[in-house]
A and B are shown apart, each in its own frame.
Chain A
Amino acid sequence: GNSVTQMEGPVTLSEEAFLTINCTYTATGYPSLFWYVQYPGEGLQLLLKATKADDKGSNKGFEATYRKETTSFHLEKGSVQVSDSAVYFCALSDRSDMRFGAGTRLTVKP
């Protein structure tokens, strides 16, 4: 079956540090991959997505590349800000089967 595994948190970084949140997936087909972000007290917001191998999704300084050979979709940002503090969810969609990772809480300190 389909599944998503992402690194456990919490992750605590200082402002302007480099961020990586690892995500790997298992899928029977050719899924689309997503990162969602959830700020405190809010729902999930789509951060970025990639629909096929080697695609790079990017938004607000965040990037993730769809790596079929390693079944990964790691989230990166070169310089985090306090306002990036949130919970980040990796997800896949494979023929209407949507799966989410458990979420990684990021705290950025000034």
Chain B
Amino acid sequence: ETGVTQTPRHLVMGMTNKKSLKCEQHLGHNAMYWYKQSAKKPLELMFVYNFKEQTENNSVPSRFSPECPNSSHLFLHLHTLQPEDSALYLCASSVRLGGEETQYFGPGTRLLVL
């Protein structure tokens, strides 16, 4: 148990569906992250939020829409996804104050797009 929870753990959706992934951290951290982990590819950083403000968007397609209502919650809204978007989506959190930081990860949501 790392203090970061993600729901759902598994999700199957069609290309026309709209769904949302949820992440919650109970560690008092101020930064939250979305990563995509595909088979045989390095971990890809998608979005970074620091004190609820988005500070990074690494050229992620607009069919992925993040939302961070407060420092403890992070959502990833999905719409009109493609089969190649099937992957494990990992949420992480950290204390981001410009110095050394350690990221703590949730268990991930395994997404399958049909």
Q: Does the CB pair B90–A43 fall under 8 Å?
A: yes
Q: Bound complex: CA of A89 vs CA of B96, how far in Å?
A: 21
Complex Cα gap A95–B4 (Å):
22
Residue among B43, B101, B102, B107 with the highest chain A CB neighbour number at 10 A: B43
Contacts of A100 in B (CB 8 A): 42-43
Q: In the complex, are the beta carbons of A51 and B105 less than 8 A apart?
A: no
Give chain B residues whose Cβ lies under 8 Å from the Cβ of A46.
Answer: 2, 102-104
- Asked whether, in the complex, the Cβ of B98 is within 8 Å of the Cβ of A42, the reply is no
Of the candidates B42, B98, B100, the one having the most CB atoms from chain A within 10 angstroms of its own CB is B100
Q: Is the CB of A45 within 8 A of B102?
A: no
Measured as residues with beta carbon below 8 angstroms from the partner, the interface class of chain A is 20 to 34
B42 to chain A: closest residue by CB: A102
CA distance A41 to B110 in the complex (A): 9
A98 to B55, CA, bound (A): 14
Which A residues touch B110, using CB under 8 A? Answer: 41
Minimum CB–CB distance for A55 against chain B, Å: 11
Q: Is the interface of B mostly helix, strand, loop or mixed?
A: loop
Report if B108 contacts A (CB, 8 A): yes
When C-beta atoms are compared, the residue in chain B nearest to A87 turns out to be: B37
Residues of B within 8 A of A93 (CB): 100-103
Bound-complex Cα distance A85 to B90 (A): 20
Taking the complex as formed, is B99 at the interface, i.e. its CB lies under 8 A from any CB of chain A? yes
Q: Which of B90, B103, B106, B108 has the most CB of A within 10 A?
A: B103
25 A–B contact pairs at CB < 8 A? A32-B100, A41-B110, A42-B108, A43-B2, A43-B4, A43-B106, A43-B108, A44-B92, A45-B105, A46-B102, A51-B100, A89-B43, A93-B100, A93-B102, A95-B98, A95-B99, A96-B96, A96-B101, A98-B45, A98-B101, A100-B42, A100-B43, A101-B42, A103-B42, A103-B43
Q: Which residues of B contact A (CB under 8 A)?
A: 2, 4, 6, 42-43, 45, 90, 92, 96, 98-108, 110
